[in-house]
Amino acid sequence: MADPAITGLVLAGGLARRMGGLDKSLQPLRGRPLLAWVVERLQPQVHTVVLNSHRLPAGAGGLDLPVWPDSLPDHPGPLAGLLTGLQRMDTDWLLTVPCDVPLLPADLASRLMQAARQAGADVAIATAPDAQGWRRHPVFCLAHRRVLASLAEALERGERQVDRWALRQQAAQARFPDAGAFRNLNTLQDLATLEASPDLSTGTPS
């Protein structure tokens, strides 16, 4: 069920150097742009979905979604997208997700919110298992509007790492058992491999 307190922000502002400069979010996966897969997963979980991009036009990928470009110059990374979302949203919470993870969890928002509330935290990030234990996926970040000032100050000091900033906010960490849900597609080969996977989800949350 959508949470009326959360704005969902799809981070699509990267330069996609490993995809040869192609707009990653618009690359096709089984006939649909990656962006459409991400939005389909995210939209039922949040009040509204917005795109963060410096080059996507309104209506990109056939989706009727607003586009919020970074409020900072020179595309300084996902923290700048988080800042833009916190500045412009009209909800209490912002949930950021990258544009290249088409199988993101259908319960992402609810698990992150539960972790934040249980810890009394203003930030929560996702974790999933890997060979070393539980790996943080900090770009899957739920943040309350209260952290806007601290984030703006961190960016002013030159901070660019979501993980370091989130840990300084004493972020809660929500555990997700399926590491594959956080599989990101950095290259055209990554995309082709997932395209050929026989167990690729339909993209419809279960």
Residue set of the binding site: 11-13, 24, 52, 70, 100
Phi-psi domain of 120 (left: phi exceeds 0; alpha: psi -120 through 50; beta: other): left
DSSP one-letter code for 72: S
Please state, in angstroms and rounded to a whole number, the distance separating the CA atoms of residues 90 and 67: 15
For residue 23, how far is the Cα from the chain centroid?
A: 16
Residue position matching structure tokens 């150097």: 17
- In contact, 183 and 200? CB cutoff 8 Å: no
Q: What is the DSSP letter of 31?
A: T
Phi and psi at residue 73, in whole multiples of 5°? -80, 165
| Token digits of residue 171 | 């972020």
Query: Do 104 and 38 meet the contact criterion of CB atoms below 8 Å apart?
Result: yes
Which residue numbers belong to the known binding site for GTP? Answer: 11-13, 24, 52, 70, 100
Per the annotation, binding residues for Mg(2+) are 100
Residue 19, classed as helix, strand or coil, is helix
Residue 108: closest CA among 5, 17, 8, 4: 8
Alpha carbon distance 23, 40 (integer Å): 19
